[in-house]
């Protein structure tokens, strides 16, 4: 009995030591990120340990800050999450550093580009003219527009972060940039209720002969749903009568756009984007005029959310028919690979699956093209994808089983059903490490970072791409010849510092402390 008693006492005594070790590890890792990795509060995605090279979605300059997630705003969200778990002002101050960087990079219109350069616009233009314009498969980086974008959730992530930071202590220094971000979303909304990909409008630019798509009404990458999510957070959390009417109207318009832009039977889906005459439009040279299965699935889920917000049956009308249409699109067995059961792009009119290919070796001599042949599909933008039709149907039936009865005093919007601004953002959305707590603590190295292997690398910029096609087969690769600056999977075992590794380990450690209900500072 005495031995068992002593072992139990040791276990009890050891527990606070472990929790303190977790707290110390988080602080040391965060200090390294804020003091060594960060540039004036901003981050890119990954770094060589000697900082000789660094990357966002493409290779970046030392003075560049990446907004596109998981980037600078994501780090700010994590710091606020850590502050909520620990009440340690150290993390709140880290979040303020991030805000300082984002405010410096905020476009005068109120939004953000994918990235910005703290060395100034001329430095950023030079990046676009060199690294950006030579990324064969990344056409969104080929041209400097000088405005902001809704693409890839950068503006959304930064805007929600500023909202969270402002509400944390009602610090008035964050109100102006936050309200600029709100105005950016409101001002850029089209009358029909949708949003462009980029704003404010700039002179049109063609890539590979394609019409400029930056002003088109956009569903791609959840542009519309992200904007409405942000506006809903603002309506729910900001007690500002001057905003309420504008926010409410914009949310209604946004929801109605999903209904208005849905294509009719026999192809009751959505395109990725629409021209101003409300017709489906093409975008990048590998995004042809077509119906997007991915956008259709996402929009159906959004319509069910709109029903829960309003109780208006118009948002449920036609969902069953679209689910049946998706079911009928299932590929034949010989084309299904790795659980990818459905086409990505469906030709309007014929209903045929469109397959994406490319030829050439770089941005200057290469091109993308579409046909009906499944052989040699482009790897970085798969022509087939995963769709769980049964799950979608069950979600729809569950919605029907619990009808919403809107009150007569507020027939168009159930304010009580608005999503609450989450207490945790990264902890809710980011998958933590699969390692044990002890393994995470012990793997933090002497410098203060968790070593990670470089998953994607790039060819250094060596000059404008050659017009001559070099030998080699680049039809299904992530990168072309030596002139192509597009990222591709690294085959070498290179140790790097990454935001992803920091984020996933911090998520696991913070969840551990939250579950243990560790005393707050």
In the predicted model, is pLDDT for residue 143 greater than 80? yes
Q: In Å, how far are 145, 337, 490 from 478, measured between CA atoms? A: 25, 19, 11
Residue pLDDT, tens place only, 150-179: 999 999 999 999 999 999 999 999 999 999
What is the mean pLDDT of the segment spanning 66-90?
98
What is the mean pLDDT of the segment spanning 347-363?
98
**Tokens linked to 506:** 């911090």
CB neighbours of residue 455 within 10 Å: 13
Question: Dihedral sign, CA of 489, 490, 491, 495?
Answer: negative
Angstrom distance (rounded) from CA 412 to CA 307:
10
- Chain CA centroid to CA 459, Å: 25
**DSSP per position, 384-426:** EE---HHHHHHHHHHHHHS-----TTSTT--GGGSPPPPS-SH
Residue pLDDT, tens place only, 194-229: 999 999 999 999 887 889 999 999 999 999 999 999
Confidence of residue 368 (pLDDT cuts 50, 70, 90): very high
Q: Which helix (H) or strand (E) holds 310?
A: helix 293-310
In the chain, % of residues over pLDDT 70? 95
Residue pLDDT, tens place only, 450-508: 999 999 999 999 999 999 999 999 999 999 999 999 999 999 999 999 999 999 999 99
What is the mean pLDDT of the segment spanning 17-29?
95
In the predicted model, is pLDDT for residue 5 greater than 70? no
Mean of the per-residue pLDDT values of the chain = 95
CB neighbours of residue 157 within 10 Å: 24
In the predicted model, is pLDDT for residue 510 greater than 70? yes
What is the mean pLDDT of the segment spanning 244-252?
95
In the chain, % of residues over pLDDT 90? 91
Angstrom distance (rounded) from CA 245 to CA 248:
5
What is the mean pLDDT of the segment spanning 401-424?
81
In the predicted model, is pLDDT for residue 13 greater than 50? no
What is the pLDDT, as a whole number, of residue 12?
40
What is the mean pLDDT of the segment spanning 138-147?
98
Residue in 350, 395, 505 with CA at minimum distance from that of residue 28 = 505
What is the pLDDT, as a whole number, of residue 209?
80
51 close to 40: Cβ distance less than 8 angstroms: no
In the predicted model, is pLDDT for residue 137 greater than 60? yes
């Amino acid at each position: 009995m005495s031995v068992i008693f002593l072992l139990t006492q040791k276990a009890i005594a050891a527990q606070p030591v472990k929790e303190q070790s977790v707290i110390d590890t988080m602080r040391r890792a965060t200090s390294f990120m804020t003091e060594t990795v960060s540039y004036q509060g901003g981050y890119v995605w990954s770094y060589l340990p000697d900082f000789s090279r660094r990357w966002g979605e493409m290779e970046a300059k030392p003075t560049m800050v990446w907004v596109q997630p998981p980037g600078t705003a994501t780090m700010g969200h994590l710091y606020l999450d850590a502050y909520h778990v620990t009440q340690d002002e150290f993390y709140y101050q880290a979040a303020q550093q991030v805000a300082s960087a984002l405010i410096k990079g905020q476009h005068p219109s109120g939004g953000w580009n994918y990235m910005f350069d703290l060395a100034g616009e001329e430095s950023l233009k030079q990046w676009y003219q060199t690294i950006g314009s030579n990324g064969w498969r990344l056409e969104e980086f080929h041209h400097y527009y000088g405005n902001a974008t809704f693409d890839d959730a950068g503006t959304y992530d930064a805007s929600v972060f500023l909202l969270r930071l402002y509400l944390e202590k009602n610090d008035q220094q964050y109100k102006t940039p936050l309200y600029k971000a709100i105005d950016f979303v409101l001002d850029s909304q089209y009358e029909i209720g949708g949003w462009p990909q980029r704003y404010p409008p700039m002179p049109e630019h063609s890539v590979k002969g394609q019409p400029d798509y930056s002003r088109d009404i956009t569903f791609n990458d959840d542009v519309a749903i992200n904007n409405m999510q942000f506006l809903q957070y603002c309506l729910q959390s900001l007690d500002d009568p001057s905003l309420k009417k504008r926010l409410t109207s914009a949310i209604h318009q946004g929801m109605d756009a999903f209904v208005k832009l849905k294509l009719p039977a026999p192809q009751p889906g959505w395109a990725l984007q629409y021209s101003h005459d409300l017709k489906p439009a093409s975008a990048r040279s590998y995004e042809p005029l077509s119906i997007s299965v991915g956008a259709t699935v996402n929009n159906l889920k959004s319509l069910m959310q709109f029903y829960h917000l309003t109780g208006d049956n118009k948002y449920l009308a036609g969902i069953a028919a679209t689910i049946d249409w998706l079911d009928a699109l299932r590929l034949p067995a010989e084309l299904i690979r790795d659980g990818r059961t459905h086409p990505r792009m469906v030709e309007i009119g014929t209903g045929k699956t469109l397959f994406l290919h490319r030829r050439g070796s770089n941005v200057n001599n290469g091109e993308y093209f579409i046909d009906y042949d499944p052989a040699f599909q482009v790897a970085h933008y798969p022509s087939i994808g995963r769709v769980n039709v049964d799950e979608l149907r069950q979600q729809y039936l569950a919605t029907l089983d619990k009808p919403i009865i809107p009150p007569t005093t507020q027939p168009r919007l159930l304010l009580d059903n608005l999503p609450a601004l989450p207490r945790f953002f990264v902890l809710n959305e980011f998958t933590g490490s699969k390692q044990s707590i002890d393994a995470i603590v012990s793997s933090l190295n002497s410098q203060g970072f968790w070593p990670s292997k470089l998953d994607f690398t790039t060819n250094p910029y060596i000059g404008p791409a050659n017009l001559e096609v070099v030998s080699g087969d680049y039809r299904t690769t992530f990168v072309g010849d030596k002139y192509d600056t597009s990222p591709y999977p690294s085959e070498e075992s290179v140790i790097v510092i990454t935001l992803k590794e920091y984020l996933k380990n911090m998520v696991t450690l913070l969840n551990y402390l939250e579950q243990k209900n560790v005393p707050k500072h």
